[in-house]
């Protein structure tokens, strides 16, 4: 591993630590604003590397940069009819004993004068704001970072100018195997029609072409058969006649899927770097949120693929989930790549933006100990209280999230196992950048 790769790995982890710190700040600020006593604000897990106390809160860094947390007093309410200033005997039963132990530990943090500063006594909407603050900070970071890349550096935009004419028809399956043209392969419609590099496509089948999206859509929807293609070659207008063939091609909306029997010409577009506007950033962010949400729904299936890659030697899918170790290795690969410095910086920013988006959406899963579980608890409390208010019934007590501790520990064990699998896979069979 070159020193550039090591530097890229370390730079990514610095950016990751900053993202974690801002995520926890998203919880800290509203918690303090609403009067909750916060005893710790930590970036990382494990032994403490450095800390300093200011007021009620200890701020610090820990040695394992795999997350962070803030510690708020009174997260678990006392049992109904219990004196919150007295500890009660632990009930029998393993799960009940676990719940009561956690409840007592939470109550021991509450000191005299802290009665109005405990988390569980805050209005439900304040709890929701506190716990949604972390993921919201990740979304803001992702948007800002993607905006820097799209508006500041720009992205490669395909233009309806021919960059290359494919000489022969190679199927998708053959391309995946690295198949090259042979005398047995037939020529592409573009090659037979006489298309050349730098030809600008201005019309297709009599319909105007203003962008590569226009050209690609018209080619695919035309299907097999003859068509007239209007071009400009060296500034001179020309019309070429081509006979398209039907091929299975990767979908424009989802490259992992195949569109069956679409029209095929056999040209690739010219890529031009263009800076985008704010509207494009909003649309791109919405599309990324949709894609990330779809990936989360497919997480169990994708983890099977990671297991097969880690222990069976299967090829690692470029879109498979990865740990911070894998993302760090990608950061190292970007730093060591033989590309301009500007592209490296844009690549780093985009990698960190994608990681923030994934962290933000994953944390919204409505299961404890994720933020989404706490948000769901707060919303449920609001629904119950709203229903009681409408029906003019006695106001129900606070939602007792302590009862969900067995599920919380089960989810925590799964998260630890998933993280361990991803870290191992990212060491033995990491995702590698194409090319």
Between 3-33 and 341-362, two packed helices, what is the crossing angle to 10 degrees? Answer: 40
Task: Quickly list DSSP for 360-427.
Answer: HHHTTSSSTTSHHHHHHHHHHHHHHHHHHHHTT-PPP----GGGGHHHHHHHHHHHHHHHHHHHHHHH
Residue 381 bears catalytic tag: no
d(CA 208, CA 206) in angstroms, rounded, equals 7
CA angle 378, 78, 46 (to 5 degrees): 75
- Residue closest to 230 by CA, chosen among 214, 248, 246: 214
What separation in angstroms does the CA of 26 have from each of 32, 68, 73, 371?
11, 12, 17, 12
Q: Are strands 236-250 and 267-274 parallel, antiparallel or unpaired?
A: unpaired
CB 120 within 8 A of CB 378: no
d(CA 146, CA 414) in angstroms, rounded, equals 31
Q: What is the DSSP letter of 35?
A: T
Q: Please, how many CA atoms are within 13 Å of residue 172, restricted to the half-sphere of its CB?
A: 15
Greatest Cα pair distance, the chain, in angstroms, is 91
Catalytic sites, residue numbers: 24
């Amino acid at each position: 591993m070159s020193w550039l790769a090591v530097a890229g790995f370390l730079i990514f982890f610095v950016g990751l630590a900053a993202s974690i710190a801002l995520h926890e700040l998203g919880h800290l600020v509203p918690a303090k604003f609403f009067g909750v006593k916060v005893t710790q604000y930590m970036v990382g897990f494990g032994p403490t590397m450095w800390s300093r106390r200011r007021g009620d809160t200890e701020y610090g860094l820990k040695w394992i940069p795999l997350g962070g947390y803030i510690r708020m007093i009174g997260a678990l309410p006392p049992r109904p009819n219990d004196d919150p200033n007295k500890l009660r005997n632990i009930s029998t039963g393993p799960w009940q004993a676990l719940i009561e132990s956690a409840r007592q530990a939470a109550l021991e943090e509450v000191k005299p004068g802290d009665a109005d500063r405990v988390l569980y006594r805050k209005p439900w909407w304040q709890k929701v704001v506190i716990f949604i603050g972390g993921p919201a900070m990740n979304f803001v970071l992702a948007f800002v970072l993607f905006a820097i890349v799209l508006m500041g550096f720009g992205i490669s935009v395909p233009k309806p100018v021919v960059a290359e004419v494919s000489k022969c028809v190679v199927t998708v399956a053959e391309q995946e195997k690295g198949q090259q043209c042979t005398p047995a392969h037939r020529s592409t419609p573009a090659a037979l029609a006489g298309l050349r590099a730098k030809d600008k496509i201005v019309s297709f089948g009599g319909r105007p072409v203003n962008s590569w999206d226009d050209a690609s859509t018209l080619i695919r929807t035309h299907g097999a058969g003859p068509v007239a293609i209007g071009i400009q070659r060296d500034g001179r207008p020309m019309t070429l006649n081509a006979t398209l063939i039907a091929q299975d091609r990767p979908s424009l909306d989802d490259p992992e899927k195949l569109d069956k029997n679409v029209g095929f010409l056999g040209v690739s577009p010219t890529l031009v770097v263009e800076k985008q506007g704010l509207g494009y950033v909003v649309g791109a962010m919405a599309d990324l949120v949709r894609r990330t949400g779809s990936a989360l729904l497919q997480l169990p299936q994708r983890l099977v693929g990671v297991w097969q890659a880690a222990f069976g030697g299967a090829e690692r899918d470029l879109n498979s989930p990865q740990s911070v170790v894998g993302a760090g290795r990608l950061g190292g690969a970007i730093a060591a790549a033989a590309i301009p410095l500007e592209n490296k910086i844009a690549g780093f920013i985009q990698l960190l933006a994608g990681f923030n988006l994934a962290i933000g959406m994953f944390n919204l899963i409505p299961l404890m100990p994720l933020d989404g579980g706490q948000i769901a608890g707060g919303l449920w409390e609001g629904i119950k209280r709203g229903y009681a208010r409408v029906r003019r019934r006695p106001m129900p007590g606070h939602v007792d999230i302590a009862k969900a501790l067995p599920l919380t520990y089960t989810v925590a064990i799964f998260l630890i196992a998933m993280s361990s699998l991803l870290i191992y896979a990212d060491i033995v069979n990491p995702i590698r950048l194409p090319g």
